[in-house]
Chains A and B, each alone.
Chain A
Amino acid sequence: MHEEILYWQALNRALDIAMAKDSSVFILGEDVGLFGGTYRVTEGLYSKYGEARVRDTPISENSFTGLGVGAAMIGMRPVVEIMTVNFALLALDAIINMAAKIPFMSGGQYAMPLVIRMPGGVAKQLAAQHSQRLEHTMMNVPGLRIAVPSTPQDAFWQFSQAIESDDPIILLEHELLYFTKGVLDSSIEALPMHKAQVRRKGKHLTIISYSKHALVSLQAAEQLAQQGIDTEVIDLRSLSPIDWETCIESIQRTHRLIVVEEDCKFAGAGAEIVSELTERCFFELDEAPIRVAGMNIPTPFNAKLEAASIPQVEDIVAAAQGFRLPS
């Protein structure tokens, strides 16, 4: 089956299929039930599966995430929706101290088949408290796996895989992606959850990005192509683990690297990506790698300043133009 579908619909489809197939799957979070989910991801499921399996919770992020942890320990497959990644700060004890540690501290006695979904990123004038990107915080925690789908197809695949996994998985969903459209083909075999994907082949330079900014990078690559700069774009799809082999293979061909991230530059995901790839491909690189990243500033409310604080297509194009390409 091959169809055009919105990103939120792909997530909704994945959840619906999983819940129909496995009675141990249940979802909980603020307004996931009667209301249908802030971004419609749980739409229709409350009436289909009942309130016990589509549970509206009080505003108690740490405890309802911890509830998911406890239920996962005895074989349930909870999907916790945290309304935005910003509220996950209140649940970090459940995520970092519990979900990520229990399987290990118990000597492998307990599995943790828990999925925690979090919308996040800079959307439209939500101001500093509601525009954060916390991937760097999660990436630094051994025991958490992080998927960052940018397309409806990946959202469907990665969410389905996350529910089936016995590890705790964080699904970071960019708020501006929910109403983007893409093809969902349920007949093709899913890529492994953490496999990166080359979205565009190119020979002059490699751009590595993820989530919404993988799409922004693709737009930049199209503009660069018109200027004769042939850009390869890798969508990481996952921030933990990272598919280094796909990145290295690309750098071995292009010898130039730009990492694009919406998150703040200082100690962000890009810092890890650039340093690992520099360690492993130092002699393959013709020039120093470049990070095009968000400014180290809380996100301003003003729309123009907000846009200026995160990478735009032209910022990526300008960075690429700075390379001394072979003629």
Chain B
Amino acid sequence: MEREQVHKMLRDMLRARAFEERAAEEYSKGSFAGFLHLYPGEEAVAVGVIHATEPADYIVTTYREHVHALVRGTPSKAIMAELFGRRDGICKGMGGSMHLFDAERRFMGGYAIVGETYPIAIGVGYAILLRNLPEAVICFFGDGAVNQGTFHESLNMAALWRLPVLFVCENNHYQIGTEIHRHSAQTDVYKRASAYNIPSEKINGMDVLSVYSTTERLLKQIRNGGGPYLLELETYRFRGHSMADPGTYRPSVEVHSFTSQDPISIAAHELESSYPTAEEIAKVGPDCITQLTEQAQQTGHLLEQDLELIKKDIENEIDAAVDFAMNSPEPTMDECWLCFQNNQRAETLL
């Protein structure tokens, strides 16, 4: 793994974490209302997957999608302004937190009805097929979404017509408050793909590096006509389902066990591993982040400073995003109608 690539991914994970924590803060202050589903804990999924995409690929996501848009390249200020419902939001204040769209970056939307991402993804995939282009669609969904009919309907069609879709299950073990053993007879999501002759695998979604390299390999295969694939990523959200959910239904031992696997710590660890040497890392062991940090400080290498610089940068970026959002005007009802009738301007209806 290139040190630069790891740097970029770590940076995006830290941006993601900072963005979401700040969004929660603004929400609590009353800067905006509505539903707000946050991503802390799951960063390795969006970051690992989306870093492996090409600009020509398409991304379809759920309502927990700020980070996906951010990593795809939508400016943080345009996302924050959308959360605030302002005119300069990426959707002009018409979509909000759960409905981020960015056509320019082939970001096909955040969908707030569970199970909608599959039909959209196979539709985009079908268009790619008709156009015969080397492009792929990444279709995100949660473990709770695999019990919707559209999962089965769409996987069947994806397989029938060999559509270029990578189905990515962000398995955080919970459909809101119902744990996977209480909502799914088959708790290994990837196994369900075999019913449609779609190859699949499950990997650790807390490890951004393996998420990245696996996705990169799969997307290459898909763009080359390899047909659909299902990738299950085991992850965990540190917060409740949404800001309306304190997450009290989860045993603290479970929360703790995943917190110790925080993907950001893991990525930081990997970054450290390229400096000092691999032997030194091996000696320290994989789960000794604190030890390594201390060791790094003792050897006086630049990592800690790098990290501080990155963090400072991000803090400035998020501050600027919030300022931008706060100062962006409210959209008017005229603008609202323009968005609604945007596609009929050239037409005579009556």
Contacts and interface: CB of A to CB of B under 8 A. Distances in A.
Interface stretch (B87-95, B259-267, B298-306, B320-328): B87-95
Interface stretch (B65-73, B150-158, B219-227, B234-242): B150-158
A110 B157 contact: no
A60 B160 CA distance: 13
B349 A106 contact: no
A104 B96 CA distance: 12
Interface in A198-256: 241, 243, 245
B58 interface: yes
B123 A72 contact: yes
B149 interface: yes
Contacts of A69: 119-120, 123
A192 B101 contact: no
Contact of B340 (A72, A142, A145): A142
A65 B91 CA distance: 24
B277 interface: no
Interface string B70-103: 0000000000000000000111111100010111
Interface string B177-205: 00000000000000000000000000000
A227 to B, nearest CB: 34
A17 to B, nearest CB: 19
Contact of B157 (A63, A102, A107): A63
A292 interface: no
Interface string B156-188: 110011000000000000000000000000000
A308 interface: no
Contacts of B129: 52
Given A62-B119, A73-B124, A74-B127, A106 B340 contact: no
For chain B, the bracket of interface size reads: 35 or more
A291 interface: no
A105 B102 contact: no
A66 B119 contact: yes
A194 B349 CA distance: 5
B334 interface: no
Contacts of A315: none
B58 A74 contact: yes
A68 B119 CA distance: 8
Nearest to A114: B123
Interface stretch (A81-89, A93-101, A124-132, A274-282): A93-101
B339 to A, nearest CB: 4
A142 B340 CA distance: 9
A106 B109 contact: yes
Contacts of A165: 343-344, 347
Contacts of B149: 60, 62-63
A105 B91 contact: yes
B101 A57 contact: no
B44 interface: no
A107 B127 contact: no
Contacts of A113: 343
Given A63-B122, A63-B157, A109-B91, 20 more contacts: A55-B161, A58-B156, A58-B160, A60-B153, A65-B119, A67-B157, A73-B108, A73-B123, A74-B58, A93-B150, A98-B111, A103-B339, A104-B340, A106-B95, A107-B89, A107-B95, A111-B343, A143-B340, A166-B343, A192-B349
5 contacts: A66-B123, A105-B95, A106-B103, A143-B340, A166-B347
Interface of A: 26, 52-53, 55, 57-58, 60, 62-76, 78, 93-94, 97-98, 102-113, 142-143, 145, 165-167, 192-195, 241, 243, 245
Those 7 A-B pairs whose CB atoms lie nearest each other, nearest first: A70-B123, A66-B119, A108-B342, A60-B153, A63-B153, A107-B92, A106-B101
